[in-house]
Amino acid sequence: MTDAIINLETVNPIEFFGINNNKLDVLKRKFPLLKILSRGSQIKISGQPDDVATAQGKINQVIKYLERNGHLSENYFAKILGDDEQGETPVEDPINNDILVFGPNGKVVRAKTANQRAMAVASEKNDIIFAIGPAGTGKTYTAVALAVRALKNKAVRKIILTRPAVEAGESLGFLPGDLKEKIDPYLRPLYDALDDMIPSDKLNYYMSNRIIEIAPLAYMRGRTLDNSFIILDEAQNATDLQLKMFLTRIGSSAKAIITGDMTQVDLPKNQKSGLVKATRILRNIEGIAHVELDEADVVRHRLVKHIIRAYDKEQAKEEQRHEEHAKQKEQRSQDS
């Protein structure tokens, strides 16, 4: 006799077991000589080694199908279990799949736009991704989903999420509380994304055991971040030196996504964003991908697209006026 435990963390258990466990009953009928028990998001099977190995293979095919497609009918579930002649059941290419991860209560987190899907494709082929675009395009949310998927698939051992602690018109010093309490509001979008993708009890476990770590960018100095999926959010508020520091922390078995919005730089006027320089000088390095998101990727309120468009037009006008003013000034200088 032998035992095997199969983890269903990467799929929606309800889709696997079925309503009222109807798919689980199909599985038990397919393998009557095995003892099959479901425990939360796990399946335990016991029996003769050959039978257990066969059942494991079929169950893994079902899991693979659900990871790609998110839904599986009872009839097709039975077909996969009973298909002994055709071998592997055809499934969608994971690169072309919109589903990124399953959250609590069966929530499906998808890549909703073409450029969000481009981020998912880039993460399969590259170790560093720059995802640049305006507010509301899902840069951070998609990046967190890709990190959670990598953790659930055991492709990495931990997730590290970081942002520069830069005020958007407010001063950290006037906020109440200790340093952590002052910093947490700036990291709240990262917490919100994680809440959508990981059950609260498991998220608390991950956080308390530093499997998921959220910290200001300054805390990355001196570290080597290996076997990790690292996200630098709001990177437009990182200086040149800070961004270089972050990029040189990345270990040999790590992935990183750097997100930013060039139109929302909150640095003091005497400091320049390091993101502009980084995206320029790292453009043609193999293993580093660049994804540009735009107003077509906005997944917030429909008016956000119009707001972004209006600000872009106004910025273009201001740049044009600035250029004309500079030309007039230069002309006057030459005339004098």
Q: Report the pLDDT averaged over residues 162-177.
A: 60
Q: Report the pLDDT averaged over residues 110-127.
A: 90
Q: Which of 47-51, 151-155, 174-178 has the weakest average pLDDT?
A: 174-178
Task: Tell me the two tokens of residue 247.
Answer: 């990029």
Residues 168 and 281 in one domain: yes
Residues 105 and 162 in one domain: yes
For the sheet containing 288-292, what is the strand order?
212-216, 158-163, 228-232, 255-260, 128-132, 288-292
Q: Which of 16-30, 82-96, 291-305 has the weakest average pLDDT?
A: 82-96
**For residue 88, is it within any domain?**
no
Residues 230 and 102 in one domain: yes
**For residue 273, is it within any domain?**
yes
pLDDT attached to residue 228: 94
Q: In the listed set 82, 104, 133, which residue is the last one of a domain according to the structure? A: 82
The winner for highest mean pLDDT among 73-82, 194-203, 290-299, 325-334 is 194-203
- E-state strands within 233-318: 255-260, 288-292
Residues 279 and 324 in one domain: no
pLDDT digits (tens, 9 = 90+) for 42-91: 899 999 989 899 999 999 888 888 876 667 778 888 888 875 444 444 44
State what percent of residues in the chain have pLDDT above 70: 86
Residues 126 and 263 in one domain: yes
9: domain CATH number is 3.30.1370.10
Residues 141 and 14 in one domain: no
pLDDT attached to residue 181: 65
pLDDT digits (tens, 9 = 90+) for 209-242: 999 998 888 888 888 889 999 999 999 999 999 9
A 10 A CB-CB count for 172 gives 13
**For residue 60, is it within any domain?**
yes
Residues 105 and 75 in one domain: no
Residues 294 and 314 in one domain: no
Could you give phi then psi for residue 178, rounded to 5 degrees?
A: -80, -175
* Number of domains the chain is built from: 3
275-287 as b/e, with b when 16 or more CB fall inside 10 Å? Answer: bbebbeeeeeeee
Q: Which of 32-36, 66-70, 101-105, 151-155 has the weakest average pLDDT?
A: 66-70
pTM summary value: 0.67
pLDDT attached to residue 92: 43
167: confidence class by pLDDT, cuts 50, 70, 90: low
- Give me the domain span that covers residue 312: 306-336
**For residue 102, is it within any domain?**
yes
Supply angle C-alpha 241, 222, 231, rounded to 5.
Answer: 70
**For residue 87, is it within any domain?**
no
**Residue 200, pLDDT above cutoff 90:** no
**For residue 89, is it within any domain?**
no
**For residue 179, is it within any domain?**
yes
Show the 3-state SS of 154-195: CCCCEEEEEECCCCCCCCHHHCCCCHHHHHHHHHHHHHHHHH
pLDDT digits (tens, 9 = 90+) for 91-106: 444 444 577 887 777 6
Residues 77 and 117 in one domain: no
Residues 107 and 197 in one domain: yes
The winner for highest mean pLDDT among 23-27, 62-66, 67-71, 163-167 is 23-27
Residues 37 and 167 in one domain: no
Residues near 74 by Cβ (< 8 Å), separated by ≥ 6? 18, 22, 23, 26
Residues 249 and 331 in one domain: no
